[in-house]
Amino acid sequence: MSCSDHTLLHSQSENGHDIAVDIERSELYCCSCSDQVYDLDFDKVVVAKNIVDMPSKTRDSVVDDLMRRSSKRRRLNSVVDLDLIRSKFFVWMRGRRAKSCYPLGLRGLNNLGSTCFMNSILQALLHAPPFRNYFLSERHDRETCRKRSSDQSCLACDIGVIFSAVYSGDRTPYSPAQFLYSWWQHSANLASYEQQDAHEFFISVLDAIHEREGKERNPNKDNGDCQCIAHRVFSGMLRSDLTCTTCGFTSTTYDPCVDISLNMDTSSFSSVDVANKSVRPNEDTGRSTLLACLDLFTRPERLGSDQKLYCQNCQEKRDTLKQMSIKRLPLVLSLHIKRFEHSSLRRTSRKIDWHLQFPFSLDMTPYLSPSIVRNRFGNRIFGFESDEADISAEFEIFAVVTHSGMLDSGHYVTYLRLQNQWYKCDDAWITEVDERIVRASQCYMIFYVQRMLYYKANEDLSCAPMPSRRDPFVPIAGCC
């Protein structure tokens, strides 16, 4: 072990790979590789330490679960992850900005064993302005919730604990072990000591919050009108129009959604794919834009001959055009880029390594139902419900979840935009980065918030600790 100021110098004085222990982050660090390294026995000790403070009734079961699960640690590709290695070398070799001067709420999350998928999504949730305001103002009463259902774990309660810890002013990395165990209880099919998909984790967390809060607040309403915090922040409404190509009759349906999954145009790919390999297109075909993905999502699609639908006007099955649009926008817009493809027919899987250009400011007006329908029928005047105009269509980016590496072995990292400065959240590591690094990253999920809420959130941020949990928004003089 050695101090962080000259750890790398030890690797230059002797042969071999010196291993240092980062006490704050509970990580092993290779001085020669300038990267984190992983050891199963070391991880077991770290996880056991993290659950010491859990309630005694759950502690034994947590330990048993963790020790039973196999470890499938990530192996970072040396070429793809040069940015990761360089950034950590930069952290050690250059004087860093004092952590105490980072915006309030920037706190690393310890990796508890291939849990970068969880940490990356948690960082995005912790900095989603309306979601953050709800938990910091203690709208979810943990004491009341525990009394109401003492025998059942509550993911919303555990998220509230994380919010309190992260916004307490403490800068040492936090270990969300209790939250991980509660999530395992809720999503048994995803409970394993292995890497999981960040998008699936995001959906499962919102579902868990909805199951607890939704039933209590509005047991007789569907998700579209649900008043739980998950749906109040992330839920929007999609419109699907099915048009008969023979008579022009259109059938319209509406479906609530908490995110929008966008396809990338892969028509230029070869028909021969290798199972579990990453697809690497050339420079001419390996670029796309977020606006092109949204255009593709809202473009009319002719359904195949085997997908003919029954037309109420023709009274028989006809060829159909399908077109998607957005009827109602959420407060926080989460966009999922489909980079992982699985073919059950050919029994192959692949990752699409295309570079996606995305704007920091996004106007969603062209993709709203009024715009889509007017474009379809020309300048005719149509009446629409008023709820499209209730929410602004102008958004600002605040979080980007990225995935680097191959399909079956990769790493998730989150970039946060706070006060127009970008920060890289790599598990326990928090570093400032230039926006060019963010634009060049391989985005997997992109989070936007309404522009008004983004600027209001920047006004609320402070780099000083919170005064007390009872009054979390009292302004305090900053430290920088």
- Known catalytic residues are 116, 411
Q: What angle do CA 51, 53, 55 make, to 5 degrees?
A: 95
Dist. CA 335–CA 298, nearest whole Å: 14
* Strand residue runs (E) in 211-352: 236-244, 250-257, 260-262, 277-279, 287-289, 301-302, 309-311, 316-318, 320-328, 332-337, 340-343, 348-352
- Tokens for 239, please give them: 């419109």
Residues contacting 116, CB < 8 A, separation 6+: 74, 195, 411, 412, 413, 426, 427
d(CA 351, CA 286): 13
Give φ, ψ of 290 to 5 degrees: -65, -35
Nearest Cα residue to 135 out of 126, 124, 143: 126
List, in sequence order, the alpha helices (H) in 334-467.
369-377, 435-440, 451-460
Give the single-character DSSP code of 212: I
Q: Could you tell me whether strands 260-262 and 332-337 are parallel, antiparallel, or unpaired per DSSP bridges? A: parallel
CA dist 337 and 331 (Å) reads 19
The residues that bridge with 236 in the sheet, in sequence order, are 257
Q: Minimal CA–CA distance to 252: which of 302, 303, 301, 321? A: 321
CA angle 448, 403, 409 (to 5 degrees): 155
How far is 374 from 384, CA to CA, in rounded Å? 11
C-alpha–C-alpha distance, residues 125 and 392, integer Å: 21
Closest CA to 237 of 250, 222, 217, 216: 222
Distance CA 28, CA 36 (A): 6
What 8-14 contacts at long range (C-beta under 8 Å, 24+ apart), as own/partner pairs, is: 8/34, 8/89, 8/92, 8/93
Residues whose CB falls within 8 Å of the CB of residue 71, separated by 6 or more in sequence, listed in order: 40, 43, 113, 114, 193, 194
Distance of alpha carbon 445 from alpha carbon 262, whole angstroms: 10
